[in-house]
Amino acid sequence: MPKGCPITRAHLPEPSLRRLPWYLAFLTTLRHERVEFVSSTRIAAEVGVEASQIAKDLSFLDIRGKTRIGYEVAALESALRTYLGFDEPHNGIIVGVGSLGSALMADRGLQRYGLDIVAGFDINPRITGTVVASRPVYGMDRLAEICRTWDVSIAAVTVPVENAQSVADIIMDAGIKAIWNFTPCRIRVRDNVAVQNTSIYSHLAVMYNRLYSNPSEL
């Protein structure tokens, strides 16, 4: 467990956790507009969540709104960022340095949200040995060693779907406890390993379907 991580974190239900980044996004917008205070009613109207639910979600943070004034924007924004782990540095790797994998290695946004990609891994000898966005790309045989050296906690999987499970097995063998799966493969993991699926191509299918479903509106 990283230093400074609030002990209450474990008690936050995951649906609440998934809403916190929405509140954070709105608070960032307000700060840019130089708004100093915001009520849970105002957040509710913007984010589309009941004000009572917002108050409940935010009660997990050690911050309270003031009657009639609401929450202090900058303080709540900062408390949310810390609570969500975005201020804590985490080391990650990218497995599969193809098009999406290289893109993620180059995405500076990840670092602003607490994830520092320390290396990429691939099986293609034309890719291994290269440097992408100032980070080295190694062969799979170096994965366990590099993860130990850098104390890597998160591995993003951006390989072709047919290799996703075998790559996940290698990642778990290296002792990594969180897999960020960008493929549509349903990875089977061991009990103490977390998977987060971010299947961007599956999301495309949902959008196509909505476009096709409302032809009269197009």
Q: Site residues for its own copies, window 32-51 (CB under 8 A)? A: 32-33, 46-48
37 CB neighbour count, 10 Å cutoff: 17
- Confirm or reject binding of residue 14 to its own copies (CB under 8 A): yes
Angle, helix 73-83 to helix 14-32, in steps of 10 degrees: 140
The minimum distance between CB 68 and its own copies, in angstroms, equals: 25
User: Is residue 92 exposed (0-12), middle (13-18) or buried (19+ Cβ within 10 Å)?
Assistant: buried
List 107, 116, 140, 189, residue binding its own copies (CB under 8 A) = 107
- Confirm or reject binding of residue 109 to its own copies (CB under 8 A): yes
The minimum distance between CB 76 and its own copies, in angstroms, equals: 15
For its own copies, give the closer residue by CB, 67 or 104: 104
For its own copies, give the closer residue by CB, 139 or 163: 163
Q: Give every strand in the sheet of 90-95, ordered side by side.
A: 131-132, 135-139, 115-122, 90-95, 154-157, 178-181, 194-197
For its own copies, give the closer residue by CB, 94 or 143: 94
Complete DSSP assignment for 70-137: BEEHHHHHHHHHHHTTTTS-EEEEEE--SHHHHHHHH-THHHHTTEEEEEEEES-TTTTT-EETTEEE
List 51, 75, 84, 146, residue binding its own copies (CB under 8 A) = 84
The minimum distance between CB 118 and its own copies, in angstroms, equals: 15
| Contact characters 15-34, its own copies, x per CB under 8 A | --xx-xxx-xxx-xx--xx-
For its own copies, give the closer residue by CB, 143 or 155: 155
For 163, residues 6+ apart whose C-beta sits below 8 A from its C-beta are 96
The minimum distance between CB 60 and its own copies, in angstroms, equals: 11
Interaction with its own copies in 145-204: which residues (CB under 8 A)? 153-154, 161-162, 164-165, 177-178, 180, 183-186, 192, 194, 196, 198-204
40 CB neighbour count, 10 Å cutoff: 22
